[in-house]
Amino acid sequence: MNSVSPSAVQYVGGVMQDELVETRRQQPPERQSSYSHRPPQTADPSRETSGEPDEMDKLKAKLMSAWNNVKYGWTVKSKTFFNKASPVTVLGHSYLLNSEDEVERFRLAFVSCIWLTYRREFPQLEGSTWTTDCGWGCMLRSGQMLLAQGLLVHLMPRDWAWPDAHQLTDVDFEVFRPRSPARAAGVPIPSFGSPRAPNTPEKSLPSDQVTKNSQKRRPECARDRQAEPLHRRLVTWFGDQPPAPFGVHELVEIGKSSGKKAGDWYGPSIVAHILRKAVAKTSVVHNLAVYVAQDCTVYKEDVVHLCDLSLSQTPPDPSNQAWKSVIILVPVRLGGEALNPSYIECVKNILKLECCIGIIGGKPKHSLFFIGFQDEQLLYLDPHYCQPVVDVSQGNFSLESFHCSSPKKMPFNRMDPSCTIGFYAKNKKDFESLCSAVSVALSSSKEKYPIFTFVEGRGQDYGLEGHSSNHSAPAAHILPPGKLGRSNNRRNSDEFVFL
């Protein structure tokens, strides 16, 4: 899964999009990006000086958006099958789809996740001609979704569900029941928001009866409705405009300290550190810190020093038990060039934990946000659908495009080994429970080397550019010098320990 350095790739101006796609099809796999559909754009210096995108740039962006959505559309239109005899796990919660109640619970859990995708026609990114992240920003979007899930857990009521999820729902519940012995194991679940053709009646129940049944399964919680202003405000933080603290404009700006710029490819490790800096920089989120593990190791004392507010007092006050909530991000590599099957059971056990907020990674050339699994397939949210920008500064902006209505799965064996795993702990007690629960999950691996570890004490402040505030410290070696071999040319995009 070797990748070409983005800086070494030149975008040929004037080449039509279908020719570019055909060229990439003809390239050998080792010369294609891990998480991007196309090489980044090299801006014309004269246009960069003027800061104005020309018509060719706009045409290229539209062509890329259209091509991307055609590919995405093929995926959306294909049915996803769920086994009614096996539980579906979504971020620590399990659903057995053998009853309408369980289907409804699963539907609400999935639709309530915040879905962040490519956008087009947003304000121009500073220092570039980009007005879309289509084709290069999928890992940033996956990272946004991971952070958004952490913020939902941090800010919203426990087991919150989006009360307007029914607006995306037009499901014929008859399809969830097997209609023949041959289909007894598989239950097709269509897009929750797939529109019914005009004048097409309900097949199973009258619409009023469907509504009554839906309300019977889960009455709208008044608490969830009261939390809606906070939900809406949270979404604005990811808006595609410069003031948004977690929007693509801000993340790209922060990425410059790691040597990245708009149009570059971002690996899951780099994105983890960008998210850490974004949370540390903003004032919109209170009492929350982000910790990024070093070399697949979570140093407990480092987390304590980050979260225990009494330690920042002079002199320290042991009676002050104030503790910041923490999002822990662990960049890992689950194998060499492909996923090591020995780690699959471990990944499943991690996704079963309530403290897990998801995994950013994907499959080769295609970043995804993993939120669960069923049997030997991962459940994910896909950022590759390019949507028009939404002006989140308007008080009544639509939330529909920020929630996905199509659950999708992919086999574990297609998972790219490079990923970042996210966890959340609200307080010190939760952090201690997290360490214990995750350690048990990690011990389930058949490999003698765990995916990552928890250790007492503090880690060295390595000072990798963009990864630490201490830039004077010596650079870290991921493997001993002289033993990097083929992995050395991957350092710019991955920076993972090989297991």
Query: Is 356 within the bounds of a domain?
Result: yes
The active-site residue out of 113, 138, 296, 356 is: 138
Collapsed DSSP state (helix, strand, coil) of residue 470: coil
Query: Is 177 within the bounds of a domain?
Result: no
Strands (E) in 180-314, as ranges, are: 186-189, 288-292, 297-299
Assess whether 154 carries a catalytic annotation: no
Total domains in the chain come to 1
pLDDT for the residue 209: 42
Cα 158 to chain center, whole Å? 21
Angle between helices 248-255 and 138-155 (to 10 degrees): 110
Query: Is 210 within the bounds of a domain?
Result: no
Query: Is 169 within the bounds of a domain?
Result: no
Is 154 within 8 Å of 325 (Cβ atoms)?
yes
pLDDT for the residue 389: 96
Give this prediction's pTM. 0.76
Spatial separation of the C-alpha atoms in residues 1 and 125, rounded to whole Å:
30
Name the residue among 401, 415, 371 with its Cα closest to residue 149. 371
Is 279 within 8 Å of 288 (Cβ atoms)?
yes
Which residues form the domain of 371?
Answer: 6-78+113-163+220-490
Assess whether 138 carries a catalytic annotation: yes
Query: Is 104 within the bounds of a domain?
Result: no
pLDDT for the residue 378: 97
Query: Is 86 within the bounds of a domain?
Result: no
Query: Is 227 within the bounds of a domain?
Result: yes
The active-site residue out of 231, 384, 403, 467 is: 384
Rounded to whole angstroms, what are the CA distances from 106 to 78, 103, 165, 379?
19, 5, 12, 12
Query: Is 170 within the bounds of a domain?
Result: no
pLDDT in tens, the chain (499 residues): 333 333 333 222 222 233 333 333 334 333 333 454 444 444 444 444 444 556 666 566 666 666 565 555 545 556 788 888 899 999 999 999 988 889 889 999 999 999 999 999 999 999 899 999 999 999 999 999 999 999 999 999 988 999 988 777 544 323 344 444 444 445 555 555 544 333 333 343 444 443 444 444 445 578 888 999 999 999 999 999 999 999 999 999 999 998 999 999 899 999 999 999 999 999 999 899 999 999 999 999 999 999 998 887 656 555 555 899 999 999 999 998 899 999 999 999 999 999 999 999 998 879 999 999 999 999 999 999 999 999 999 988 999 999 998 899 999 999 999 999 999 999 999 999 999 999 999 998 777 788 999 999 888 654 443 343 333 333 333 333 333 333 333 333 343 333 3
The kind and range of the H/E element at 329 are strand 325-333
Q: Which amino acid is at 355?
A: C
The active-site residue out of 164, 240, 308, 382 is: 382
Structure tokens at 93: 């919660």
Residue holding tokens 């309900």? 202
